[in-house]
Amino acid sequence: MRLRRARKVAVAMAGLALLAACGTPSQVADETVTSFVTAGPPASPAPSSEPATSPSPSESPTPSPSPSPSPSPSAPASSAAPAGDPNAAPQDGVALADGYVPKKLQPGEKPPQFIIVSFDGVGWHEKWQHWFDVGTKVPFRFTGFLSGTYMLSDETKMLYQGPGHSAGKSSINWNTAADLPTEIADLNQAYQAGNEIGSHFNGHFCEGADPSGNAWTTDDWNNELDQFFSLIKNVKANNPNVTMPDLVFDGSVVKGERTPCLEGHAEDLFPALTAHNMTYDSSFTKTGISWPTQSPQYKIWQFGMATFPINGTGKQQITMDYNFYYTQRQASSTGVTQEQSDADAAQVKATYDDMFNATFNGNRAPLVLGNHFNEWNNNAYENALTSFVLEKCGQPEVQCVPFQDALAWMAVQDPARLAQLQAQPPETGSAG
């Protein structure tokens, strides 16, 4: 199964490389890309994933489901879901369902330095396990933005029809039926460990696979989210020939999202989020690191990733793993030596350090780091992020938590104090 699936993933990766510029013109100028679902190990030799139709993508493609060892089909969920109501309003000093305790700032007290790590797609078993292991070494929890198509297989894909597309079409790979129990078990383990599950929508249609998110209306986003939540709710009914554990959570815990390739327009997307009881977005980027604010009309919290200078260059870039990959290697690992990849990883880690130092010693705004399950550039980006997390998480005044916990913390603050934090200028770094 592993070899057959690896070839399938390699084909998908080559196809995804053709998804040209993903995002707004300003993002294209930053050579940004956002969303691979989750790339499994490439076949040998690995194909180039260099974009073929655009010199500057805006977000990463989404890798595909993982070739991973499947648990026993009859294996039950490993433990019960976290206790407590996950949708209860946060209260000062009271633990959330995931165990986090938001605390109101005392007069003169600085806010904690939040580090919010997220992954788009989340369909690769070995990568799930890698980050679970990191979480056993330091206090670290994260957000996984799930692609709803991972709740189907190549046998049941006709149950999904993206807005403006034919039934069964997706820009990312489908699971095989044999992969589904593994993905469900990984999602359960993530949720039980206090990690957050968000939405990466479904078919991952970016510019070049039109109509993409940039062309979708509010009705289209509503349709896509209706299907996302239905795919979660009906995963067992939709795959009647697969024996799998029950999901230990339901769609009510999904409060945030990141759009494929960071596409879409807030005026079209945000009404659909409100209609689905969602409270935050992490798609639309901003210059520098600043405190999240709510959109005026729909009150959606905006947790966009920052543009920030790449260490040693002064080049402003959206600080997502695929964007580093595109800038450093034009999104191709072909011919790259391990020594070169190690140098790239060191530059990414140094950029994360620059971002951390700027906000920890400055406005203390949450540091939002967007990523994918990947092994691009000889695993340079996973290695850089792992080193950063192991070094920073657990330090005094640092909290490495998912979006939902940072939101809960903000909810228990005095409104005037929170407004003061939000009024601070962004930390934009310095050239050189």
The CATH number of the domain holding residue 415 is 3.20.20.370
Could you tell me if 375 and 336 are in contact, meaning their C-beta atoms sit under 8 angstroms apart?
Answer: no
Q: Calculate the dihedral angle through the C-alpha atoms of 82, 87, 89, 91, rounding to the nearest 10 degrees.
A: 10
Question: CB 168: neighbour CB atoms within 10 A?
Answer: 16
Residue 236 exposed, middle or buried by CB count within 10 Å (0-12, 13-18, 19+): middle
Residue carrying structure tokens 């639309």 = 284
Comparing C-alpha atoms, which of 185, 192, 197 is closest to residue 97? Answer: 192
pLDDT at 86: 85
3-state secondary structure of 415: helix
The beta strands (E) that lie in 29-112 are given as 33-34, 59-60
Q: How many CA atoms lie within 13 A of 404 on its CB side?
A: 30
Domain with 142 in it: 2-43+56-67+90-422
C-alpha closest to that of 353 among 186, 6, 115: 115
The residue ranges of the chain whose pLDDT is under 70 are 1-83, 430-432
Tokens at 107, concatenated? 């007069």
What is the token pair recorded at 131? 């980050």
Give dist(CA 341, CA 344) in Å, integer: 5
In sequence order, which ranges of 121-265 are alpha helices (DSSP H)?
125-137, 180-192, 218-233, 235-238
pLDDT score recorded for residue 85: 85
Evaluate whether residue 432 is within a structural domain.
no
Residue matched to tokens 């198509």? 149
Bridge partners of residue 293, in order along the sequence:
302
Q: What is the pLDDT of residue 83?
A: 62
- The predicted structure's pLDDT at residue 65: 47
The answer to the question of residue 76 being in a domain is no
pLDDT number for residue 82: 62
| Residue 427 belongs to some domain of the structure | no
CA–CA gap between residue 258 and residue 118 (Å, rounded): 10
Q: The pTM is what?
A: 0.85
CA angle at residue 404 from 399 to 409, to 5 degrees? Answer: 60
In angstroms, rounded to a whole number, what is the distance separating the alpha carbons of residues 95 and 346?
Answer: 37
Task: Indicate whether 98 belongs to any domain.
Answer: yes
- DSSP-based three-state secondary structure for 197: strand
pLDDT of 312 reads: 95
Q: How many CA atoms lie within 13 A of 426 on its CB side?
A: 18
Side-chain half-sphere CA neighbours of 58 within 13 A:
23
- Let me know if residue 75 belongs to a domain: no
Determine the Cα–Cα distance for residues 258 and 277; give it in Å rounded to an integer. Answer: 15
Residue 371 located in a structural domain: yes
Q: What's the structural domain count of the chain? A: 1
For residue 394, the one-letter residue type is G
